[in-house]
Structure 1
């Protein structure tokens, strides 16, 4: 399906961008996790947002979501696994599906975890970020699911249903995991192998496997777009929220300090406006 603009991330920056693009009559798809999983949603009180002191994070995000829905923004829960910029369009891989957009706005927040040892080396050789994409390749084989997202147990159950021999690893016991799936509690992880993955070291235990599925909330922007330029670890943008890639904009925490709600909403406004202008100029 084709949209004028795809926004990656449904927080304050992403929804501000989406709303301002809709004001300019652009079709907008927001791809991300359930907004109620955001750390902001659990904030007991927000006092530094102009004109609206004392609200909880949940009240603010509920209002943002209603506003965007009322404006006709489309939503899709899922992880963007890859973005392929082409001339005047971008293709986004979301699970096993593909979406097309004329412009992309990155509003992914900040990455809250480093790569595990061996993750980058074995990506595509036994490291996967998508159970539905790659699960069929490992039917009747041993796989490990590293649960770092709320839907990871569901994905592990899916792999078990395909016929994979699944072990689930996370820092705390998941809810809804198939009782037939072995569970290992661990947070110190290392992916090991030779030509491809052979095992996951989880704490003091080594779990033999042919694939490790790393199921995070989201994938870092530079994994989505390797040519994306960074500055001090954040996406480099100009004052119009343009990145170094044509048709790709960014807003919010992913562009740098301060990591504040007002900044995110303001940058989202600019990104939405400028993405719409970019499309009008094609």
Structure 2
């Protein structure tokens, strides 16, 4: 017999765990569902220095603390790779690779993943000089030289942010002009700490036993190769929402992101979205936590409204 819940939260990152905390504290039956260990990308972060209440904390430690809070009021935790969510109106069916669940509401918090360059050294030096988030890791490169790969809004805006910390920021772009908004380009070109290498691809990230020491480059016009010394590589070649299982729900836009209102409500009643999977600008632990709190409360309010409507009838 399929087990039923008031809410199933898909994704046990910081947003999902916060939603579980708020919903379970409101005495709702909660299933927090993830395909792996709770914490999401926090488990791949050596030190988190921008989460309130901690001068610095290891990512896995923060994840563990959040999990204890998320489950203290009875929220259940389950493993499973979600393959599909079906909207039945009054209920929703969540199908995983091993089980099937029913709930009155669903919170989507599966997050996003960074597009990779796919070059040698990228995986090996992840967390040891290779980063995909300047706000997260920029402070580790104070007074150093870093490379930013990409030419879109994220690359240029994050590059500008890095100039507040690094001594020099070199933007490497495979084309001869940026794709970022004009205002961001103007600021970047006027920044004395930023320089640009055009029509060039990073073909390999190199380093020693401890950290990144440089990048190998290919000039797309001449075919010439070279190596540039650097202390860090920040990669911004795109971001992909992890929303494939929700394609039939009608909650995603053309790019796969999930638009919501200020209450984290999607286009489908009873389905909410939080965290990095949402269509938004800033993707941080702090923003995910805030959205999780809103969603947890809104789930409670949604169910209360359903009760009130049913009693009137």
3-state SS of paired residue (2:297): helix
Verify: 1:89 aligned to 2:91, yes or no. yes
3-state SS of paired residue (1:269): helix
| Partners of 2:29 and 2:103 in 1: CA distance | 9
| Counterpart mapping for 1:138-177 below 5 A | none
TM-score (norm 2): 0.53
| Partners of 1:258 and 1:105 in 2: CA distance | 19
1:141-185 per-residue CA deviation (whole Å, 9 max, x = no partner) reads xxxxxxxxxxxxxxxxxxxxxxxxxxxxxxxxxxxxxxxxxxxxx
Do the aligned residues in 1 keep the contact of 2:35 with 2:82 (CA within 8 Å)?
no
| Partners of 2:18 and 2:275 in 1: CA distance | 10
2:243 to 210, 213, 221: 221
1:96 Cα offset (Å): 4.1
1:260 Cα offset (Å): 0.5
| Partners of 1:36 and 1:268 in 2: CA distance | 15
| Partners of 2:38 and 2:76 in 1: CA distance | 17
The residue that corresponds to 1:47 in the other structure is 49
| Partners of 1:34 and 1:223 in 2: CA distance | 16
| Counterpart mapping for 1:1-282 below 5 A | 1-35=3-37, 38-112=40-114, 220-226=242-248, 227-230=250-253, 233-255=256-278, 256-282=280-306
Q: Which has the larger radius of gyration?
A: 2
1:54 Cα offset (Å): 0.5
Query: Which consecutive residues of structure 2, in runs of 5 or more, have no partner in the other structure?
Result: 117-240, 307-313
1:20-56 per-residue CA deviation (whole Å, 9 max, x = no partner) reads 0011110100110333673311312111111222111
Report the CA distance shift for 1:232/1:77 in structure 2 as closer, same or farther (over 3 A).
same
3-state SS of paired residue (2:112): coil
Report the CA distance shift for 1:87/1:37 in structure 2 as closer, same or farther (over 3 A).
closer
1:18 Cα offset (Å): 0.6
| Partners of 2:87 and 2:105 in 1: CA distance | 9
Larger relative contact order (CA 8 Å, sep ≥ 6): 1
Query: Which consecutive residues of structure 1, in runs of 5 or more, have no partner in the other structure?
Result: 115-218
| Partners of 1:38 and 1:12 in 2: CA distance | 8
Do the aligned residues in 1 keep the contact of 2:8 with 2:106 (CA within 8 Å)?
yes
The residue that corresponds to 1:126 in the other structure is none
| Partners of 1:72 and 1:248 in 2: CA distance | 21
| Partners of 2:299 and 2:113 in 1: CA distance | 24
1:70 Cα offset (Å): 1.9
How many residues matched? Answer: 178
1:97 Cα offset (Å): 2.3
Do the aligned residues in 1 keep the contact of 2:22 with 2:296 (CA within 8 Å)?
yes
The residue that corresponds to 1:168 in the other structure is none
| Partners of 1:38 and 1:32 in 2: CA distance | 9
3-state SS of paired residue (1:230): coil
